[in-house]
């Protein structure tokens, strides 16, 4: 069997910290989806990050690369933890993820952030300010200062210098810009491109290229903001944004800021797309302080699995059912400790069970039954 016949090979890379716990809940939901809908999933697990370092001395073992090369999609948990923090850069857990993005050619990272009415009280901002916020960050993922050379820490004149280099090639900006405009067409048709063109050459090039590409999407409104101004507007008027298109580094920062608008970083999923395969992972990290205690929020991981169904498996119905199930369960008041407030919290696995059961119910209802 292959994809055409409804078999999807999914690489599952749980990683470190809370990664394994939250990924298990996403797999649980996918298995239930499989029971009801036609397509089948075959899961192959691999090591990445600190756990891979401990077992194989590298953060991205060859076997994991080969599992991912053979997969329709990759579902990842999280990488990193204090026990590996003192390692030099090449052998830090984060390198596993960064190398995987490079190896798989994942150049665009989508990070949707939506403020749910039922969770509005959890936002760092006042309800009247965040209400209606529904934005999508489109982050360039394979270039910029994360990967430019020269880089390193060098001895010079009796002291040390640290060097990183931001590089953007025209085609790197073009391809991510196209994706942003295409995605905006499925939403409210507005792209905010974010840069620092008043200071940086890479940003001036970015702005030029985005403006040019924007001309072929005349139905999409394009505006440019400087990163500092955008960071402020995201707090002042978050609901004004639709698609935010930006570089690797700025996107990293803005996506954490956007997460705090929604009430908990434990809610936000992400998709990293290239031409061949795609990677789905929560925006949150490995949260070592709560790892292994059944306290982590599995929503971001389950929502990442929904994105996987949408973008890699073309199972829009199932994706929408999972998203609706998440909203319903949250609306009914289920809260993991990160979003607890005054209510009694549920565990990671309980939250997963609730969402799985609701997804199943919705998939059986006429609204979501596969057409
Ligand atoms: C993220 C993370 C990663 C990044 C780290 C873990 C390398 O912060 O996905 O936002 O900076 O891209
Ligand atoms: Mg980040």
Instruction: Give residue 65's pLDDT.
Output: 98
Does 257 sit in the ligand 1 pocket, CB within 6 Å?
no
| pLDDT classification of 124: cutoffs 50, 70, 90 | confident
Residue 370 has pLDDT above 60, yes or no: no
Mutate to test the pocket of ligand 1, among 81, 82, 98, 108 (most ligand atoms within 8 A of CB): 98
Both tokens of residue 149?
């050379």
Specify the CATH number for 1-107+268-371; select among 3.40.718.10, 3.40.50.1000, 3.40.630.10, 3.10.350.10.
3.40.718.10
- Domain 124-262 CATH class label: alpha beta
Q: Which residues are catalytic?
A: 146, 196, 228, 252, 256
Centroid of ligand 1 to alpha carbon of 326 (angstroms) = 25
pLDDT at 139 over 60: yes
**Nearest protein CA to atom 10 of ligand 1, as residue:** 252
Taking the model in full, what pTM does it have?
0.93
pLDDT, tens only, 221-265 = 999 999 999 999 999 999 999 999 999 999 999 998 998 899 888
Q: Which two tokens stand for residue 255?
A: 């996506």
pLDDT tier, 180 (very low <50, low <70, confident <90, very high otherwise): very high
Q: Where in the chain are all domains bearing CATH 3.40.718.10?
A: 1-107+268-371, 124-262
Q: How many angstroms separate the CA atoms of 71 and 55, rounded?
A: 22
Residue-averaged pLDDT of the chain: 95
| Strand spans (E) along the chain | 7-15, 40-45, 73-78, 108-114, 134-140, 148-156, 159-165, 190-195, 221-226, 243-246, 269-273, 278-282
pLDDT greater than 60 at residue 335: yes
Residues 6+ apart with CB under 8 A from 291: 16, 17, 18, 21, 81
In tens, the pLDDT along 336-345 reads 999 986 668 9
Among 141, 161, 165, 168, CA closest to 151: 165
């Amino acid at each position: 069997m292959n994809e055409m016949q409804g078999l999807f090979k999914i690489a599952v890379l749980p990683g470190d910290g809370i990664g394994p716990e939250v990924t298990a809940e996403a797999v649980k939901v996918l298995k239930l989806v499989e029971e009801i809908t036609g397509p089948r999933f075959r899961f192959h697990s691999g090591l990445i990050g600190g756990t891979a370092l401990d077992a194989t001395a590298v953060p991205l073992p060859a076997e994991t690369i080969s599992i991912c090369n053979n997969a329709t999609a990759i579902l990842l948990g999280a990488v990193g933890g204090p026990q590996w923090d003192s390692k030099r850069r090449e052998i830090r857990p984060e390198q596993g993820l960064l190398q995987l993005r490079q190896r798989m050619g994942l150049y665009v990272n989508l990070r949707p952030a939506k403020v749910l009415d039922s969770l509005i009280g959890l936002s760092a901002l006042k309800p009247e300010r965040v209400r209606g916020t529904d934005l999508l960050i489109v982050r360039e993922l394979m270039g910029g200062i994360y990967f430019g050379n020269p880089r390193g820490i060098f001895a010079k004149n009796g002291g040390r210098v640290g060097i990183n280099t931001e590089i953007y090639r025209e085609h790197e900006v073009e391809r991510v810009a196209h994706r942003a405009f295409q995605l905006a067409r499925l939403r409210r048709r507005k792209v905010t491109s974010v840069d620092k063109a008043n200071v940086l050459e890479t940003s001036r090039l970015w702005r030029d290229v985005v403006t040019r590409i924007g001309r072929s999407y005349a139905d999409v409104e394009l505006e440019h903001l400087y990163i500092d101004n955008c960071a402020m507007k995201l707090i002042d008027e978050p609901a004004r944004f639709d698609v935010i298109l930006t570089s690797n580094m700025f996107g990293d920062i803005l996506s954490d800021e956007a997460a705090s608008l929604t009430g908990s970083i434990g809610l936000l999923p992400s998709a990293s797309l290239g031409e061949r395969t795609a990677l789905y992972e929560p925006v949150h990290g490995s949260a070592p302080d709560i790892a292994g205690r059944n306290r982590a929020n599995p929503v971001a991981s389950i929502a990442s699995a929904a994105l996987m169904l949408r973008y890699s498996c073309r199972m829009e119905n199932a994706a929408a059912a999972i998203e609706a199930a998440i909203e319903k369960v949250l609306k009914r008041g289920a809260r993991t400790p990160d979003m607890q407030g005054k209510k009694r919290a549920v565990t990671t696995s309980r939250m997963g069970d609730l969402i799985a059961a609701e997804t199943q119910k919705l998939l059986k209802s006429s609204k979501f039954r596969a057409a």
